[in-house]
Protein backbone atom coordinates (compact mmCIF):
# COMPACT_ATOMS: atom_id res chain seq x y z
CA UNK A 1 0.00 0.00 0.00
CA UNK A 2 1.45 3.41 -0.97
CA UNK A 3 2.46 5.94 1.66
CA UNK A 4 2.66 9.70 1.14
CA UNK A 5 4.10 12.35 3.44
CA UNK A 6 2.91 15.91 2.93
CA UNK A 7 5.54 18.13 4.50
CA UNK A 8 5.75 21.80 5.42
CA UNK A 9 2.21 23.17 5.12
CA UNK A 10 0.02 25.10 7.52
CA UNK A 11 -2.69 22.58 8.35
CA UNK A 12 -6.30 23.30 9.30
CA UNK A 13 -7.45 19.98 10.75
CA UNK A 14 -10.94 21.06 11.94
CA UNK A 15 -10.38 18.42 14.64
CA UNK A 16 -11.38 19.25 18.23
CA UNK A 17 -8.70 20.22 20.74
CA UNK A 18 -6.22 21.29 18.05
CA UNK A 19 -5.16 24.79 16.99
CA UNK A 20 -7.11 26.60 14.30
CA UNK A 21 -4.05 26.15 12.08
CA UNK A 22 -0.69 24.55 12.77
CA UNK A 23 2.50 23.69 10.98
CA UNK A 24 2.31 19.93 10.62
CA UNK A 25 3.14 17.03 8.34
CA UNK A 26 0.46 14.60 7.19
CA UNK A 27 1.28 10.93 6.69
CA UNK A 28 -1.11 9.06 4.43
CA UNK A 29 -1.17 5.27 4.33
CA UNK A 30 -3.20 4.06 1.36
CA UNK A 31 -6.56 5.83 1.62
CA UNK A 32 -6.22 6.76 5.30
CA UNK A 33 -4.57 9.46 7.38
CA UNK A 34 -1.95 7.72 9.53
CA UNK A 35 -0.62 10.74 11.44
CA UNK A 36 -0.82 14.54 11.65
CA UNK A 37 2.14 15.97 13.53
CA UNK A 38 5.13 18.22 13.15
CA UNK A 39 8.42 16.66 12.12
CA UNK A 40 7.17 13.29 10.93
CA UNK A 41 9.91 11.12 9.44
CA UNK A 42 8.79 8.32 7.17
CA UNK A 43 11.63 7.08 5.00
CA UNK A 44 9.40 4.67 3.07
CA UNK A 45 6.93 7.33 1.92
CA UNK A 46 6.80 9.55 -1.13
CA UNK A 47 7.57 13.00 0.24
CA UNK A 48 5.62 15.92 -1.22
CA UNK A 49 6.89 19.37 -0.29
CA UNK A 50 3.94 21.69 0.33
CA UNK A 51 5.84 24.44 2.08
CA UNK A 52 3.99 27.74 1.90
CA UNK A 53 0.66 26.05 1.23
CA UNK A 54 -2.44 25.57 3.38
CA UNK A 55 -4.01 22.13 3.73
CA UNK A 56 -7.58 21.72 4.91
CA UNK A 57 -10.19 18.94 4.85
CA UNK A 58 -11.94 18.42 1.55
CA UNK A 59 -15.07 20.53 1.17
CA UNK A 60 -18.52 18.97 1.33
CA UNK A 61 -21.27 20.24 -0.96
CA UNK A 62 -24.22 18.60 0.77
CA UNK A 63 -26.91 19.55 -1.76
CA UNK A 64 -26.52 19.90 -5.52
CA UNK A 65 -28.80 18.90 -8.39
CA UNK A 66 -25.79 17.94 -10.48
CA UNK A 67 -27.87 16.74 -13.41
CA UNK A 68 -28.68 20.39 -14.24
CA UNK A 69 -25.06 21.40 -14.96
CA UNK A 70 -25.52 21.75 -18.76
CA UNK A 71 -28.00 24.58 -18.09
CA UNK A 72 -25.54 26.57 -16.01
CA UNK A 73 -26.66 30.16 -15.53
CA UNK A 74 -29.87 30.03 -17.54
CA UNK A 75 -31.96 30.80 -14.46
CA UNK A 76 -29.89 33.55 -12.87
CA UNK A 77 -32.98 35.79 -12.78
CA UNK A 78 -35.50 33.04 -12.01
CA UNK A 79 -37.71 33.08 -8.96
CA UNK A 80 -38.57 29.77 -7.32
CA UNK A 81 -41.80 29.68 -9.35
CA UNK A 82 -39.80 30.19 -12.56
CA UNK A 83 -37.42 27.39 -11.60
CA UNK A 84 -40.18 24.91 -10.82
CA UNK A 85 -42.10 25.77 -13.97
CA UNK A 86 -39.22 25.90 -16.43
CA UNK A 87 -36.85 23.28 -15.07
CA UNK A 88 -39.27 20.68 -13.73
CA UNK A 89 -42.40 21.59 -15.63
CA UNK A 90 -40.76 22.03 -19.02
CA UNK A 91 -37.21 20.90 -19.73
CA UNK A 92 -36.74 17.99 -17.30
CA UNK A 93 -38.92 15.61 -19.31
CA UNK A 94 -36.73 16.17 -22.38
CA UNK A 95 -33.59 14.85 -20.68
CA UNK A 96 -32.11 11.71 -22.19
CA UNK A 97 -29.97 9.34 -20.13
CA UNK A 98 -26.88 10.75 -21.85
CA UNK A 99 -27.87 14.27 -20.71
CA UNK A 100 -28.07 12.98 -17.14
CA UNK A 101 -24.63 11.40 -17.41
CA UNK A 102 -22.75 14.34 -18.88
CA UNK A 103 -24.43 16.86 -16.59
CA UNK A 104 -23.55 14.83 -13.52
CA UNK A 105 -20.00 14.11 -14.70
CA UNK A 106 -19.26 17.73 -15.60
CA UNK A 107 -20.86 19.04 -12.41
CA UNK A 108 -18.86 16.65 -10.23
CA UNK A 109 -15.60 17.53 -12.02
CA UNK A 110 -16.35 21.22 -11.46
CA UNK A 111 -16.79 20.47 -7.77
CA UNK A 112 -13.43 18.71 -7.66
CA UNK A 113 -11.76 21.70 -9.26
CA UNK A 114 -13.26 23.94 -6.54
CA UNK A 115 -11.97 21.76 -3.70
CA UNK A 116 -15.11 19.72 -3.04
CA UNK A 117 -14.19 16.13 -2.26
CA UNK A 118 -17.67 14.94 -1.22
CA UNK A 119 -20.85 15.71 -3.10
CA UNK A 120 -24.44 15.16 -2.00
CA UNK A 121 -25.94 14.56 -5.46
CA UNK A 122 -29.72 15.12 -5.10
CA UNK A 123 -30.89 13.42 -8.28
CA UNK A 124 -34.63 13.84 -8.86
CA UNK A 125 -34.96 13.52 -12.62
CA UNK A 126 -35.14 9.73 -12.84
CA UNK A 127 -38.15 8.85 -15.01
CA UNK A 128 -36.54 5.56 -16.08
CA UNK A 129 -33.89 3.22 -14.67
CA UNK A 130 -31.67 4.22 -17.60
CA UNK A 131 -31.74 7.86 -16.44
CA UNK A 132 -30.77 6.78 -12.93
CA UNK A 133 -27.97 4.53 -14.12
CA UNK A 134 -26.57 7.20 -16.42
CA UNK A 135 -26.46 9.81 -13.64
CA UNK A 136 -24.84 7.33 -11.27
CA UNK A 137 -22.29 6.41 -13.92
CA UNK A 138 -21.34 10.07 -14.37
CA UNK A 139 -20.93 10.55 -10.64
CA UNK A 140 -18.68 7.49 -10.26
CA UNK A 141 -16.66 8.34 -13.39
CA UNK A 142 -15.72 11.74 -11.95
CA UNK A 143 -13.73 10.21 -9.09
CA UNK A 144 -15.45 12.33 -6.44
CA UNK A 145 -16.73 10.89 -3.17
CA UNK A 146 -20.45 10.88 -3.81
CA UNK A 147 -23.64 10.39 -1.85
CA UNK A 148 -26.20 9.57 -4.53
CA UNK A 149 -29.55 10.66 -3.15
CA UNK A 150 -32.07 8.89 -5.35
CA UNK A 151 -35.09 11.06 -6.03
CA UNK A 152 -38.06 11.06 -8.37
CA UNK A 153 -39.76 13.56 -10.67
CA UNK A 154 -42.56 15.46 -8.99
CA UNK A 155 -45.68 13.29 -8.67
CA UNK A 156 -48.86 12.84 -6.62
CA UNK A 157 -48.58 13.46 -2.85
CA UNK A 158 -49.68 9.88 -2.11
CA UNK A 159 -47.06 8.22 -4.34
CA UNK A 160 -44.47 6.49 -2.17
CA UNK A 161 -40.82 6.43 -3.11
CA UNK A 162 -39.94 3.57 -5.50
CA UNK A 163 -37.69 1.70 -3.09
CA UNK A 164 -37.16 -1.13 -5.58
CA UNK A 165 -35.14 1.36 -7.62
CA UNK A 166 -33.02 2.21 -4.58
CA UNK A 167 -32.55 -1.48 -3.71
CA UNK A 168 -31.13 -2.37 -7.10
CA UNK A 169 -28.37 0.26 -6.85
CA UNK A 170 -24.99 -0.72 -5.46
CA UNK A 171 -22.72 1.37 -3.26
CA UNK A 172 -18.97 1.44 -3.86
CA UNK A 173 -15.66 2.53 -2.30
CA UNK A 174 -16.44 6.21 -2.90
CA UNK A 175 -20.20 5.90 -3.36
CA UNK A 176 -22.90 5.98 -0.70
CA UNK A 177 -26.61 5.73 -1.38
CA UNK A 178 -29.44 7.75 0.13
CA UNK A 179 -33.06 8.68 -0.56
CA UNK A 180 -34.19 12.09 -1.82
CA UNK A 181 -37.90 12.00 -0.98
CA UNK A 182 -40.60 14.62 -1.50
CA UNK A 183 -40.89 14.79 2.26
CA UNK A 184 -43.61 15.82 4.71
CA UNK A 185 -44.24 19.19 3.06
CA UNK A 186 -45.17 17.67 -0.30
CA UNK A 187 -46.54 14.25 0.72
CA UNK A 188 -49.56 12.92 2.54
CA UNK A 189 -48.85 11.91 6.13
CA UNK A 190 -49.04 8.19 5.33
CA UNK A 191 -46.67 8.57 2.39
CA UNK A 192 -44.18 10.63 4.38
CA UNK A 193 -44.13 8.00 7.13
CA UNK A 194 -43.71 5.17 4.60
CA UNK A 195 -40.77 6.90 2.92
CA UNK A 196 -39.02 7.69 6.21
CA UNK A 197 -39.57 4.12 7.38
CA UNK A 198 -38.17 2.70 4.14
CA UNK A 199 -35.00 4.76 4.56
CA UNK A 200 -34.65 3.77 8.21
CA UNK A 201 -35.01 0.07 7.39
CA UNK A 202 -32.14 0.41 4.90
CA UNK A 203 -29.95 2.57 7.13
CA UNK A 204 -29.96 5.38 4.55
CA UNK A 205 -29.90 9.15 4.85
CA UNK A 206 -33.35 10.49 3.93
CA UNK A 207 -33.26 14.02 2.53
CA UNK A 208 -36.11 16.37 1.61
CA UNK A 209 -36.85 19.99 0.71
CA UNK A 210 -38.75 22.24 3.11
CA UNK A 211 -39.45 25.86 2.23
CA UNK A 212 -42.16 28.26 1.23
CA UNK A 213 -44.68 27.37 3.90
CA UNK A 214 -45.26 26.24 7.45
CA UNK A 215 -44.90 22.55 8.34
CA UNK A 216 -47.97 20.49 7.50
CA UNK A 217 -49.49 17.35 9.04
CA UNK A 218 -46.89 15.13 7.38
CA UNK A 219 -44.25 16.45 9.76
CA UNK A 220 -46.38 15.63 12.78
CA UNK A 221 -46.97 12.10 11.48
CA UNK A 222 -43.25 11.47 10.96
CA UNK A 223 -42.40 12.87 14.40
CA UNK A 224 -45.10 10.84 16.13
CA UNK A 225 -43.86 7.69 14.39
CA UNK A 226 -40.43 8.25 15.95
CA UNK A 227 -38.72 8.47 12.56
CA UNK A 228 -36.69 11.66 13.01
CA UNK A 229 -33.02 10.77 13.51
CA UNK A 230 -29.42 11.75 12.69
CA UNK A 231 -30.07 10.29 9.21
CA UNK A 232 -32.77 12.90 8.56
CA UNK A 233 -31.58 15.75 6.34
CA UNK A 234 -33.78 18.79 5.70
CA UNK A 235 -32.77 21.08 2.86
CA UNK A 236 -33.47 24.82 3.31
CA UNK A 237 -35.71 24.56 6.39
CA UNK A 238 -37.41 27.87 5.61
CA UNK A 239 -40.87 27.94 7.11
CA UNK A 240 -40.01 25.65 10.01
CA UNK A 241 -41.00 27.19 13.33
CA UNK A 242 -38.57 27.48 16.22
CA UNK A 243 -40.35 24.58 17.91
CA UNK A 244 -39.93 22.40 14.84
CA UNK A 245 -36.30 23.34 14.47
CA UNK A 246 -35.73 22.38 18.10
CA UNK A 247 -37.52 19.08 17.53
CA UNK A 248 -35.25 18.32 14.58
CA UNK A 249 -32.07 19.38 16.39
CA UNK A 250 -33.01 17.34 19.46
CA UNK A 251 -33.48 14.30 17.20
CA UNK A 252 -30.01 14.80 15.73
CA UNK A 253 -31.32 15.73 12.27
CA UNK A 254 -29.25 17.97 10.00
CA UNK A 255 -30.30 21.04 8.03
CA UNK A 256 -28.61 22.04 4.80
CA UNK A 257 -28.78 25.67 3.74
CA UNK A 258 -28.20 26.86 0.17
CA UNK A 259 -27.98 30.54 1.11
CA UNK A 260 -27.45 32.25 -2.25
CA UNK A 261 -30.28 30.30 -3.83
CA UNK A 262 -32.59 30.73 -0.83
CA UNK A 263 -32.12 34.50 -0.70
CA UNK A 264 -32.33 35.02 -4.45
CA UNK A 265 -35.21 32.76 -5.42
CA UNK A 266 -37.63 33.27 -2.56
CA UNK A 267 -37.30 30.14 -0.45
CA UNK A 268 -36.96 32.29 2.67
CA UNK A 269 -34.12 33.42 4.89
CA UNK A 270 -31.39 30.92 5.79
CA UNK A 271 -31.96 29.26 9.15
CA UNK A 272 -28.36 29.78 10.27
CA UNK A 273 -29.09 31.99 13.25
CA UNK A 274 -31.96 29.84 14.52
CA UNK A 275 -29.71 26.77 14.47
CA UNK A 276 -26.85 28.56 16.25
CA UNK A 277 -29.22 29.61 19.02
CA UNK A 278 -30.06 25.93 19.49
CA UNK A 279 -26.41 24.94 19.70
CA UNK A 280 -26.46 23.47 16.18
CA UNK A 281 -25.14 24.60 12.80
CA UNK A 282 -26.05 24.23 9.14
CA UNK A 283 -24.35 22.23 6.46
CA UNK A 284 -24.12 23.90 3.07
CA UNK A 285 -25.07 23.27 -0.53
CA UNK A 286 -25.26 25.26 -3.74
CA UNK A 287 -28.51 23.73 -5.08
CA UNK A 288 -28.44 24.21 -8.85
CA UNK A 289 -25.89 25.47 -11.37
CA UNK A 290 -28.80 26.73 -13.43
CA UNK A 291 -29.39 29.50 -10.88
CA UNK A 292 -26.30 30.04 -8.69
CA UNK A 293 -22.56 29.24 -8.86
CA UNK A 294 -21.68 25.81 -7.50
CA UNK A 295 -19.03 27.12 -5.09
CA UNK A 296 -19.52 25.91 -1.53
CA UNK A 297 -16.96 28.38 -0.14
CA UNK A 298 -19.04 31.21 -1.62
CA UNK A 299 -22.06 29.67 0.12
CA UNK A 300 -20.13 29.70 3.39
CA UNK A 301 -19.18 33.35 2.99
CA UNK A 302 -22.72 34.38 2.05
CA UNK A 303 -24.20 32.49 5.00
CA UNK A 304 -21.65 34.08 7.32
CA UNK A 305 -22.16 37.64 6.04
CA UNK A 306 -25.95 37.31 5.99
CA UNK A 307 -26.13 36.16 9.60
CA UNK A 308 -23.59 38.71 10.78
CA UNK A 309 -25.75 41.37 9.12
CA UNK A 310 -28.82 40.12 10.99
CA UNK A 311 -26.86 40.13 14.24
CA UNK A 312 -25.60 43.69 13.69
CA UNK A 313 -29.13 44.86 12.93
CA UNK A 314 -30.48 43.20 16.08
CA UNK A 315 -27.74 44.78 18.17
CA UNK A 316 -28.36 48.18 16.57
CA UNK A 317 -32.04 48.04 17.45
CA UNK A 318 -31.29 46.99 21.01
CA UNK A 319 -28.39 49.33 21.78
CA UNK A 320 -28.22 51.96 19.05
CA UNK A 321 -24.91 50.63 17.76
CA UNK A 322 -23.67 47.75 15.64
CA UNK A 323 -22.06 44.83 17.46
CA UNK A 324 -18.50 45.53 18.58
CA UNK A 325 -17.42 41.89 18.31
CA UNK A 326 -18.01 39.30 15.61
CA UNK A 327 -20.95 37.09 16.49
CA UNK A 328 -19.78 34.24 14.24
CA UNK A 329 -16.20 33.35 13.30
CA UNK A 330 -14.70 32.44 9.95
CA UNK A 331 -13.76 29.05 11.39
CA UNK A 332 -17.41 28.34 12.16
CA UNK A 333 -18.29 29.07 8.53
CA UNK A 334 -15.50 26.76 7.38
CA UNK A 335 -16.90 24.05 9.64
CA UNK A 336 -20.28 24.34 7.91
CA UNK A 337 -18.56 23.41 4.63
CA UNK A 338 -16.60 20.50 6.11
CA UNK A 339 -17.56 19.01 9.48
CA UNK A 340 -21.28 19.77 9.22
CA UNK A 341 -21.48 18.60 5.63
CA UNK A 342 -19.94 15.29 6.61
CA UNK A 343 -22.50 14.89 9.38
CA UNK A 344 -25.42 15.77 7.11
CA UNK A 345 -24.45 13.04 4.65
CA UNK A 346 -23.87 10.39 7.32
CA UNK A 347 -20.08 10.40 6.82
CA UNK A 348 -18.80 12.10 9.97
CA UNK A 349 -16.86 8.97 10.92
CA UNK A 350 -14.94 9.10 7.62
CA UNK A 351 -14.46 12.67 6.41
CA UNK A 352 -14.76 16.35 7.35
CA UNK A 353 -11.62 16.52 9.50
CA UNK A 354 -7.94 15.71 9.10
CA UNK A 355 -7.36 13.19 11.86
CA UNK A 356 -5.77 9.80 12.36
CA UNK A 357 -7.88 6.97 10.97
CA UNK A 358 -10.08 9.13 8.75
CA UNK A 359 -10.09 9.09 4.97
CA UNK A 360 -7.35 11.09 3.26
CA UNK A 361 -9.68 13.65 1.65
CA UNK A 362 -7.93 17.01 1.58
CA UNK A 363 -7.32 20.22 -0.33
CA UNK A 364 -4.02 22.03 -0.89
CA UNK A 365 -4.46 25.81 -1.19
CA UNK A 366 -1.81 27.98 -2.81
CA UNK A 367 -2.79 31.28 -1.22
CA UNK A 368 -0.28 32.13 1.50
CA UNK A 369 -1.65 34.57 4.06
CA UNK A 370 -1.02 35.44 7.72
CA UNK A 371 -4.47 34.05 8.61
CA UNK A 372 -4.83 30.50 7.19
CA UNK A 373 -8.50 30.23 8.18
CA UNK A 374 -9.32 33.39 6.23
CA UNK A 375 -7.22 32.25 3.27
CA UNK A 376 -9.09 28.95 3.17
CA UNK A 377 -12.53 30.53 3.50
CA UNK A 378 -11.73 33.13 0.82
CA UNK A 379 -10.12 30.68 -1.61
CA UNK A 380 -11.33 30.46 -5.20
CA UNK A 381 -11.01 27.60 -7.66
CA UNK A 382 -7.80 29.19 -8.90
CA UNK A 383 -6.27 28.93 -5.43
CA UNK A 384 -6.99 25.18 -5.19
CA UNK A 385 -3.64 23.70 -6.18
CA UNK A 386 -4.39 20.07 -5.39
CA UNK A 387 -7.22 17.80 -4.29
CA UNK A 388 -6.83 14.33 -2.81
CA UNK A 389 -9.64 11.81 -2.26
CA UNK A 390 -9.03 8.56 -0.38
CA UNK A 391 -5.29 9.03 -0.75
CA UNK A 392 -5.41 9.56 -4.52
CA UNK A 393 -4.63 12.86 -6.22
CA UNK A 394 -7.57 14.07 -8.30
CA UNK A 395 -6.12 17.52 -8.97
CA UNK A 396 -2.44 18.44 -8.98
CA UNK A 397 -0.59 21.60 -9.95
CA UNK A 398 -3.96 23.30 -10.56
CA UNK A 399 -4.95 20.66 -13.13
CA UNK A 400 -7.60 17.93 -12.91
CA UNK A 401 -6.12 14.48 -13.49
CA UNK A 402 -7.29 11.46 -15.48
CA UNK A 403 -9.97 13.29 -17.44
CA UNK A 404 -10.33 14.47 -21.04
CA UNK A 405 -11.83 17.89 -20.39
CA UNK A 406 -12.14 18.67 -24.08
CA UNK A 407 -14.48 15.74 -24.62
CA UNK A 408 -16.46 16.56 -21.47
CA UNK A 409 -16.94 20.17 -22.60
CA UNK A 410 -18.01 19.15 -26.09
CA UNK A 411 -20.61 16.70 -24.77
CA UNK A 412 -21.86 19.22 -22.22
CA UNK A 413 -22.31 21.91 -24.87
CA UNK A 414 -24.15 19.48 -27.13
CA UNK A 415 -26.50 18.61 -24.29
CA UNK A 416 -27.10 22.30 -23.49
CA UNK A 417 -27.83 23.16 -27.13
CA UNK A 418 -30.45 20.42 -27.30
CA UNK A 419 -32.11 21.19 -23.96
CA UNK A 420 -32.27 24.99 -23.93
CA UNK A 421 -35.06 25.27 -26.55
CA UNK A 422 -37.29 23.21 -24.21
CA UNK A 423 -37.03 25.65 -21.30
CA UNK A 424 -40.25 27.36 -22.35
CA UNK A 425 -42.33 24.20 -22.65
CATH number assigned to the domain comprising residue 250: 3.20.20.140
Question: Is the residue at 292 inside a domain?
Answer: yes
Q: How many CB atoms lie within 10 A of CB 225?
A: 15
Average model confidence (pLDDT) across the chain: 96
How many angstroms separate the CA atoms of 236 and 179, rounded?
A: 17
Confirm whether 415 is domain-assigned. no
Whether 147 and 126 share a structural domain: yes
Q: How many distinct helices (H) and strands (E) make up the chain?
A: 14, 17
Helix (H) or strand (E) holding 283: strand 283-284
Q: Is there a domain that residue 405 lies in?
A: no
Do 295 and 359 reside in the same domain of the chain?
no
Instruction: Name beta bridge partners: 119.
Output: 61, 146
With a CB cutoff of 8 Å and minimum separation 6, the contacts of 223 are 247
| pLDDT value, residue 425 | 64
Give pLDDT, residue 368: 82
Listed as ranges, residues in the chain with pLDDT below 50 are none
Query: How far is residue 217's CA from residue 346's CA, in Å, rounded to a whole number?
Result: 27
CA distance 380 to 378: 7
Question: Looking at residue 30, which CATH number applies to its domain?
Answer: 2.30.40.10
> What local confidence, expressed as pLDDT, does residue 215 receive?
87
Same domain flag for 42 and 161: no
In a domain, 413, yes or no: no
Identify whether 418 is part of a domain.
Answer: no
In whole angstroms, how far apart are CA 113 and each of 30, 46, 65, 174, 285? 22, 24, 17, 17, 16
Do 360 and 332 fall within a single domain? no
Expressed as residue numbers, the domain containing 243 is 59-339
Q: Indicate if 192 and 315 belong to the same structural domain.
A: yes
Number of separate domains in the chain: 2
Is the CB of residue 279 less than 8 Å from the CB of residue 305?
no
Same domain as 360, residue 266: no
pLDDT digits (tens, 9 = 90+) for 317-330: 888 888 888 899 99
Angle (CA) 131 140 138, round 5° = 40
129 burial (CB, 10 Å; 0-12 / 13-18 / 19+) is middle
Whole-number pLDDT of residue 74: 97
SS3 call for 120: strand
User: In whole angstroms, how far apart are CA 185 and each of 31, 62, 211, 213, 256?
Assistant: 40, 20, 8, 8, 16
Specify the pLDDT at position 316: 87
Closest by CA to 75, choosing from 83, 84, 63, 65, is 83
Query: Are residue 89 and residue 131 in the same domain, yes or no?
Result: yes
Please state, in angstroms and rounded to a whole number, the distance separating the CA atoms of residues 194 and 417: 40
Q: How far is residue 193's CA from residue 325's CA, in Å, rounded to a whole number? A: 45
In degrees, rounded to 5, the angle at the alpha carbon of residue 344 between the alpha carbons of residues 192 and 403 is 110
113 shares a domain with 64: yes
Handedness of CA 58, 379, 335, 238 (dihedral sign): negative
Residues 268 and 394 in one domain: no
Please tell me the distance from the alpha carbon of residue 259 to that of residue 122, in angstroms, as a whole number.
17
Give a yes or no: residue 425 inside a domain: no
Amino acid sequence: MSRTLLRGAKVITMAPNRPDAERADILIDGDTIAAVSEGLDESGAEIVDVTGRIIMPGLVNAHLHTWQTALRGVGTDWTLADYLGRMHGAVARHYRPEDMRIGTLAGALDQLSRGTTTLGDWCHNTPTPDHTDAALDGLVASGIRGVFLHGTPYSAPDATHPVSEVDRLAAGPLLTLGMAVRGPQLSTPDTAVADFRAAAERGLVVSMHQSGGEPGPGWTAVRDAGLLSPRTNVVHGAGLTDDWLKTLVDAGASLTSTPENELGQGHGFPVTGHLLQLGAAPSLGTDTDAVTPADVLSAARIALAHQRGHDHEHHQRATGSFSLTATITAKQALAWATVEGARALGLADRIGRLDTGLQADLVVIDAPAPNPIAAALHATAGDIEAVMIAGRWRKRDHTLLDVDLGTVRAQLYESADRLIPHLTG
